[in-house]
Structure 1
Amino acid sequence: MTRTTTEPLVLHPVGSSDQLDMTGFRSIVAGYTGRDEAQVRHHIDELAAIGVAPPPQVPMFYPMPEAAVTTAATAPVGGDNTSGEIEPVLIRHRGKNYLGVGSDHTDRTLETVDIGESKQACPKPMGSDVIEIGDWSTFDWDKCYARSWVDGVLYQSGGLVGLRRPEDLLKILADRLDNFDDSSDFVCFAGTLPLLDGTFVPGTQWELELTLPDGQSLRHTYTTTKEL
């Protein structure tokens, strides 16, 4: 389920008794964030296969409703052709950086008409556990590994080495967005990996796992439900 606009997004930094109660933050989904041009083209081709036009800019940033970001175990969707993708989630709250794991769940039918609307049509699930990151430039992003499963079948698997580093992505974001600086609170879904077989699956249960360089893993599982 999605939150109401008055409910905070509650996150829990691992190894701390602190709790992040996030309200009034910017919610963003970044697309086409691969470092390698061939990998970016591969993802664009995946989308072209279902009728999605190429993006006007690379990377792309899609603003989301704040209430779309949810840590709930269920995600209500309106269409029959929706699917998720594992994403590292970059978070800033009160000047501190955090890393989480989430899913850019998207309506694939609507995506062929308007990508931004297709993303806004679905919740953006993420795990409630996050890791505090002191400085993105010294964090070993390239040694993080992401996997996702749909209905128990491995769907994505690979390292974040293929995605733009956070400090690079956030610099581009700051250049493009008005009133976005080091004091801005935000949740940014930072891009995904190619699908193992290149085919979107409109499954029901989605499992996400982001393994960090020290062996810790951030996980989240959610189930889609049809909105009435």
Structure 2
Amino acid sequence: MTTSPELRFRLPDGSEAATRVHTLLNAGYAGRNQADVAAHVAELAELGVPAPAATPALYAVAPYLAQQSGEVPAQHGRTSGEAEWALVITGPEPQDVLLTAACDHTDRALEVHGVAWSKNAGPDVLASTAWRLTEVADRLDELTLRAWAGDIPIQDGSLAELLPPAYWLDFLREHELYAPGVVLLSGTIPMVSGVDQFADRWRVALGDPARGAAIELEYRVRRLPEFGGK
């Protein structure tokens, strides 16, 4: 019996694609301008977040954390999402690589002790619809990425700000990880300063302005009950 989660996606032509996740990877510090990334690493270090050994970074995450859910349980009030795109490999052919919206829900209290730990403390929420990467490959930098913490816009940018899917697909091939069941999240774009990220709802939208289309996901954050004890 397998414990790998199955992800299912609706495609624009009405068909459906599915895969069981056996490898889940989260990119970090994956801005296309690595000078800006270095400045961001320095800012985070001042907040106590340990710097990565190298940038961009890639973190292996437990596969069961890949979820298509409308609810994320949280142990405390310092968790929040990050708008990202995700690659989902469902088969051996180029048309089997899907692009969808994702939200990496991260434990910020744990992040200061280890980024990899924090990413394994919350799920990667993926949308239930997707596009074939081959169908949007000619305009990837024009695709938009937005997020809302509650009803407040907190992230607004484009895929041009992040390392492109081709970079990560080459990485997967180089490390013999290109296979059905692999899911990779892109890393995120900057958040708007001053917005409270610790909201009880998160929404992410991956937009294609050329077609007037978007892939969206939304979930609420549910605080788990607290009990006494050590």
The TM tier, using the shorter chain, reads 0.7 to 0.9
- Between structure 1 and structure 2, the one with the greater Rg is 2
Q: What is the correspondence of 1:185-200 to structure 2 with a 5 Å cutoff?
A: 185-197=181-193
Runs of 4+, deviation exceeding 4 Å: none
Instruction: Note the alpha carbon deviations across 1:167-190, whole angstroms, 9 max, x for none.
Output: 112223443x4x413x34311111
Residue in structure 2 matched with residue 120 of structure 1 by the alignment: 120
Residue in structure 2 matched with residue 13 of structure 1 by the alignment: 11
Return the alpha-carbon distance in structure 2 between the equivalents of residues 73 and 109 of structure 1. 23
Return the alpha-carbon distance in structure 2 between the equivalents of residues 9 and 37 of structure 1. 32
Q: Which amino acid aligns with 1:124?
A: D
Return the alpha-carbon distance in structure 1 between the equivalents of residues 34 and 11 of structure 2. 34
Q: What is the correspondence of 1:170-189 to structure 2 with a 5 Å cutoff?
A: 170-175=169-174, 177=175, 179-181=176-178, 183-189=179-185
Unaligned runs of 5+ in 2: 226-230
Say if 2:71 is the partner of 1:84: no
Say if 2:201 is the partner of 1:205: yes
Q: TM-score by structure 2 length?
A: 0.87
Q: Which amino acid aligns with 1:85?
A: E
What RMSD in Å do the two structures reach over aligned CA positions?
2.1
Say if 2:151 is the partner of 1:155: no
Instruction: Note the alpha carbon deviations across 1:123-163, whole angstroms, 9 max, x for none.
Output: 11111101112278x43211011110101001000111111
Return the alpha-carbon distance in structure 1 between the equivalents of residues 194 and 171 of structure 2. 28
What percentage of residue pairs aligned between the two structures are identical?
27
Q: Which amino acid aligns with 1:206?
A: W
Conserved? CA contact 2:147–2:204, under 8 Å = yes
The secondary structure found in structure 1 opposite 2:117 is helix
Aligned residues: 220
Conserved? CA contact 1:43–1:194, under 8 Å = no
Conserved? CA contact 2:101–2:217, under 8 Å = yes
Which range moves more in the overlay, 11-20 or 32-41? 11-20
Q: What is the correspondence of 1:1-228 to structure 2 with a 5 Å cutoff?
A: 5=3, 7-20=5-18, 22-95=19-92, 96-134=96-134, 138-175=137-174, 177=175, 179-181=176-178, 183-197=179-193, 201-212=197-208, 213-228=210-225
How far off its partner does 1:91 sit? Answer: 1.1
Instruction: Note the alpha carbon deviations across 1:80-127, whole angstroms, 9 max, x for none.
Output: 211101001111111211100011110011010011110000011111
The secondary structure found in structure 2 opposite 1:149 is strand
Residue in structure 1 matched with residue 228 of structure 2 by the alignment: none
Conserved? CA contact 1:102–1:125, under 8 Å = yes
Return the alpha-carbon distance in structure 2 between the equivalents of residues 29 and 200 of structure 1. 23
Conserved? CA contact 2:21–2:66, under 8 Å = no
Which range moves more in the overlay, 151-160 or 166-175? 166-175
Q: Which amino acid aligns with 2:200?
A: T
Q: TM-score by structure 1 length?
A: 0.88
Which range moves more in the overlay, 164-173 or 79-88? 164-173
Conserved? CA contact 1:133–1:139, under 8 Å = no
Instruction: Note the alpha carbon deviations across 1:166-222, whole angstroms, 9 max, x for none.
Output: 1112223443x4x413x3431111111111117662111001111124221010111
